[in-house]
């Protein structure tokens, strides 16, 4: 380790600051300037037109597990084969009726009548509706009302499913006598509740995020005009992103889910504001040296490398999700990457254009009027009010704290961050060791983090109607009814497969629990004729009411003893697969809702173990190219990974002991890793690119102190904005998004305050010029 420096080497002295002589204007090249202006105008037009597509994204969403799974998943294969036996694919669901005092004759009459009425409702699979079932205590009844998921290959989107389920409940509640509670339940009801959690909240989410960012920008800039420009730019970026994602999803190039859309919104707002803060901070600094237009050119050239490197890191890290087995992960990667790329383009073209031109075009009457009203303004500008108007081409966006061309952009004047930089220089070894110990202490909470998955009911932070109905259903009826395991097998081995399934632990043992799938068209015709269809001694329908083999294959339904989305049901699916796979010549495949959930869980673990190393390797390559070094990337990645692990530890404690969540989804660590590592590296990129720039003139150790001093305020502001933006995800009543929001917000603040402000600068200072090994800068001065 390096020797302790003397106190004089840690101060930002007058000799370390910028010269006060006027700086020559930056070299202009007409084609890049006009290219930036042209692209800025284009994205303004496209973003404005694309804003309307934000509300249309719900039309192309897919939120069912089947659309998440790859074609190679066993449940997908079984589902595709099962579709041949019926043109209508449904989502099982129930309407649950309950009265604490017991169901009255009027209640039962209304429920029996509904069994006929709901068949005629739009979106209901009429052939699969069965007569109502009553509980033993006489307080609860259930009516099986499956919703059509697809008809002859034409799938219904989430908004249509929600509309159909709401119509079923409306009709049921209108027909119910006073005092009779009516709830939805089953996979269909819970799926619709999940879809409903996103419905109508996109605008709320955006407005809340925009409001939070606006308040923070007001505090950061203390300017009335300036906060609007990053927000307008972010809005345009979101419009461009929505336009691109909508058409790609509509043409099934990618899969859009509700969580992908929500994360897209906050990611664009958060990342866009980060890029804006970095550019605007450098612009303000250059305004002390140049006229506004030249200052913007200098700021753009000085900050573009860091912004592009940051965007590239996040984009490529997100695109690594394309290696996922889960289509939902594959969706989130390109959807979010599209958002980052669009944000990069808007923030490096339209934003600088608006900073230079907007004050003169839009806001000039304000200061011109004030110049007549407030004499101090006239005295500040010898040329008078008319001259003030002609200066409204950049600096006035900072009004009332307007930077002037006084050649005083001296980092020694950066107050708190200059003092902190001096402290880091004097006590660097103590600082980085102390920061490391603090992060290691946070790891203790990892033992409390449970990533075994959540049931659908546990996935809500609130208690929607479908969860209430599901609890009533589970307490009074067979938990596995309505969502059986679907076994597709060779027809010649049907009896052997049925026998193997019946002997499997966790499969219901009541008569009729394991049978060949009914032919719902024949069953519906028989029921409408007035008499029940004949049932054999095993509880299964007469073969004349069962589906006939197709291409030598047949479908067997096996009712589980446990709720379809419980860990016990997943264990049963694994045992069932082992049992039927062992039937020689059957080539049996097990699908259904429980199997799909299990396959999603298995794929999530696979994706996590595969993608995390790929992301780390990709980020290392990007940093190595950016810094032309190998040691600095290793250092930055190690600190961010330590920060990520510390964040997971804090999340484990908070989720279990503070928020009271039952656990976390299997994909939580992967999503948290991708966002935290990619975004955490961002702030280190912002810091270390400035450190390298300063090190070229002042040496590595003074470059570290100068870089920390001059970037401290803007990077901390960016971290606070991004953290606040992700916290907004908590307004959605879903545990997964609330957990992601908390993890990213806390992790970003940890990176911003501890890692980037203390650990990285102190460790870099201690290592000195060797941090740039093997570049030529490593041979320079410390």
Burial 55-88 (b: 16+ CB within 10 A, else e): eebbebbbbbbbbbbeeebbbbbbbebbeebbeb
Q: Which pLDDT belongs to residue 527? A: 65
Token duo for residue 548: 């006939």
CA neighbor of 695 nearest in space, from 621, 767, 620: 767
- Which tops the pLDDT comparison, 284 or 151? 284
Q: Which pLDDT belongs to residue 286? A: 84
Q: Do domains 70-197 and 484-591 have the same CATH topology?
A: yes
Ranges assigned E (strand) in 426-552: 485-490, 514-516
| Measured distance CA(196)–CA(209) in Å, rounded | 20
| Measured distance CA(90)–CA(191) in Å, rounded | 12
CA neighbor of 61 nearest in space, from 195, 244, 239, 154: 195
Q: So where are the chain's domains?
A: 29-54+223-409, 70-197, 413-478+597-782, 484-591
CA neighbor of 633 nearest in space, from 760, 747, 752: 760
Residues 6+ apart with CB under 8 A from 617: none
Least confident of 618-622, 729-733, 735-739: 729-733
Alpha-carbon distance values, 335 to 246, 332, 505, 532 (Å): 10, 5, 42, 51
Burial 309-343 (b: 16+ CB within 10 A, else e): bbbbbbbbbbbbbeebbbbbbbbbbbbbbbbbbbb
Residues 6+ apart with CB under 8 A from 17: 410, 411, 412
Q: Is-contact 523 541, C-beta < 8 A?
A: yes
Residue 28: φ, ψ to 5°: -100, 140
Q: Which pLDDT belongs to residue 388? A: 43
Measured torsion, CA atoms of residues 249, 251, 253, 259, in degrees rounded to the nearest 10: 10
Q: Quick check: 362 pLDDT over 70?
A: no
CA neighbor of 562 nearest in space, from 692, 455, 642: 455
Token duo for residue 730: 């908590």
Token duo for residue 284: 């303000």
| CATH fold label, 484-591 | Alpha-Beta Plaits (3.30.70)
| Measured distance CA(230)–CA(715) in Å, rounded | 16
SS3 539: coil
- By percentage, how much of the chain surpasses pLDDT 90? 27
Residue 99: pLDDT band by 50, 70, 90 thresholds?
very high
End-to-end CA distance of the chain: 13
- Residue 142's H or E segment, with its range, is strand 140-144
Token duo for residue 707: 């870089």
Give the mean pLDDT of 689-701: 87
Q: Which pLDDT belongs to residue 153? A: 64
Q: Quick check: 429 pLDDT over 80?
A: yes
The predicted-structure confidence for 276-305, as pLDDT tens digits, reads as follows 888 888 888 888 888 878 888 888 888 888
Tell how strand 147-151 and strand 140-144 pair up.
unpaired
The CATH code belonging to domain 70-197 is 3.30.70.100
| Measured distance CA(432)–CA(375) in Å, rounded | 52
| Measured distance CA(111)–CA(107) in Å, rounded | 6
Q: Which pLDDT belongs to residue 278? A: 85
- By percentage, how much of the chain surpasses pLDDT 70? 85
Residue 361: pLDDT band by 50, 70, 90 thresholds?
very low
| Measured distance CA(243)–CA(52) in Å, rounded | 8
SS3 437: helix
* Residue indicated by tokens 């997964």: 736
| Measured distance CA(135)–CA(193) in Å, rounded | 24
* Residue indicated by tokens 């001059």: 710
Residue 482: φ, ψ to 5°: 90, -20
Residue 246: φ, ψ to 5°: -60, -50
| CATH fold label, 413-478+597-782 | Multidrug efflux transporter AcrB transmembrane fold (1.20.1640)
The predicted-structure confidence for 570-608, as pLDDT tens digits, reads as follows 999 999 999 999 999 999 999 998 999 899 888 888 888
């Amino acid at each position: 380790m390096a020797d302790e420096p003397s106190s004089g080497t840690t101060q930002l002295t007058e000799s370390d600051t910028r010269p006060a002589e006027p700086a020559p204007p930056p070299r202009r090249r007409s084609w890049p300037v006009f290219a930036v202006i042209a692209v800025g105008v284009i994205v303004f037009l496209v973003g404005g037109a694309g804003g309307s597509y934000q509300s249309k994204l719900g039309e192309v969403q897919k939120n069912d597990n089947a659309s998440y799974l790859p074609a190679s998943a066993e449940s997908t294969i079984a589902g595709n084969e099962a579709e041949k036996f019926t043109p209508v694919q449904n989502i099982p669901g129930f309407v649950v009726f309950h009265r604490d005092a017991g169901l009255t004759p009027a209640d039962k009459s209304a429920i029996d009548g509904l069994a006929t009425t709901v068949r005629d409702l739009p979106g209901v699979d009429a052939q699969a509706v069965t007569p109502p079932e009553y509980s033993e205590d006489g307080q609860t009844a259930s009516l099986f009302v499956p919703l059509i998921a697809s008809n002859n290959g034409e799938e219904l989107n989430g908004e249509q499913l929600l509309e159909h389920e709401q119509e079923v409940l409306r009709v049921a509640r209108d027909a119910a006598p006073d005092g009779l509670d009516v709830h939805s339940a089953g996979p269909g009801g819970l799926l619709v509740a999940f879809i409903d959690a996103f419905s109508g909240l996109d605008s709320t989410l955006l407005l809340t995020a925009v409001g939070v960012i606006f308040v923070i920008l007001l505090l950061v800039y203390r300017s009335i005009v300036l906060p609007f420009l990053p927000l307008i730019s972010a809005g345009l970026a979101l419009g461009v992103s929505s336009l691109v994602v909508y058409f790609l999803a509509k043409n099934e190039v990618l899969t859009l889910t509700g969580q992908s859309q929500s994360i897209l919104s906050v990611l664009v707002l958060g990342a866009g504001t980060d890029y804006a803060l970095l550019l605007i901070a450098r612009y303000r600094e250059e305004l002390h040296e140049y006229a506004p237009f030249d200052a913007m050119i200098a700021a753009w050239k000085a900050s573009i490398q860091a912004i592009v490197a940051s965007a590239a890191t996040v984009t490529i890290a997100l695109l690594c999700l394309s290696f996922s087995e889960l289509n939902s992960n594959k969706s989130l990667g390109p959807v979010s990457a599209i958002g980052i790329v669009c944000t990069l383009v808007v923030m490096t073209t339209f934003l600088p254009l608006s900073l230079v031109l907007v004050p003169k075009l839009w806001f000039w009457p304000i200061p011109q009027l004030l110049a007549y009203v407030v004499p101090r303004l006239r005295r500040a500008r010898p040329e008078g009010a008319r001259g003030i108007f002609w200066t409204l081409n950049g600096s006035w966006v900072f009004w009332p704290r307007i930077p002037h061309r006084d050649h005083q952009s001296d980092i020694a004047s950066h107050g708190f961050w200059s003092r902190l930089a001096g402290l880091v220089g004097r006590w660097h070894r103590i600082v980085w060791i102390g920061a490391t110990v603090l992060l290691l202490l946070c790891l203790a909470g990892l033992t409390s983090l449970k990533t075994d998955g959540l049931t659908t009911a546990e996935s809500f932070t609130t208690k929607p109607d479908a969860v209430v109905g599901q609890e009533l259903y589970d307490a009074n009826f067979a938990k596995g009814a309505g969502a059986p395991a679907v076994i597709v097998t060779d027809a010649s081995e049907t009896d052997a497969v049925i026998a193997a399934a019946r002997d499997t632990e966790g499969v219901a043992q009541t008569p009729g629990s394991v049978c060949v799938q009914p032919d719902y068209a024949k069953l519906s015709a028989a029921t409408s004729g007035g008499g029940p269809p004949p049932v054999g001694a095993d509880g299964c329908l007469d073969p004349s009411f069962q589906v006939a083999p197709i291409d030598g294959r047949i479908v067997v339904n096996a009712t589980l003893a446990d709720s379809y989305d419980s860990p016990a049901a997943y264990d049963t699916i694994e045992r069932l697969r082992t049992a039927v796979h062992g039937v020689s010549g059957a080539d049996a495949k097990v699908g259904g809702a429980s199997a799909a959930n299990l396959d999603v869980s298995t794929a999530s673990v696979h994706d996590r173990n595969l993608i995390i190393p790929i992301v780390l390797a990709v980020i290392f390559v990007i940093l190595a190219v950016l810094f032309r070094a190998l040691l600095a990337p290793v250092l930055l990645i190690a600190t961010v990974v330590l920060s990520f692990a510390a964040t997971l530890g804090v999340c484990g404690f908070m989720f279990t002991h503070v928020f009271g969540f039952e656990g976390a989804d299997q994909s939580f660590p992967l999503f948290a890793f991708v966002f935290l590592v990619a975004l955490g590296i961002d702030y280190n990129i912002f810091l270390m690119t400035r450190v390298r720039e300063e090190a070229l003139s002042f040496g590595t150790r003074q470059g570290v102190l100068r870089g920390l001093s001059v970037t401290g305020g803007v990077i901390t502001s960016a971290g606070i904005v991004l953290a606040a933006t992700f916290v907004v995800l908590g307004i959605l009543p879903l545990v997964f998004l609330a957990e992601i929001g908390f993890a990213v917000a806390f992790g970003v603040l940890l990176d911003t305050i501890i890692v980037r402000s203390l650990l990285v600068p102190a460790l870099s200072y201690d290592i000195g010029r060797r941090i740039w090994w093997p570049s030529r800068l490593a041979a320079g001065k410390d």
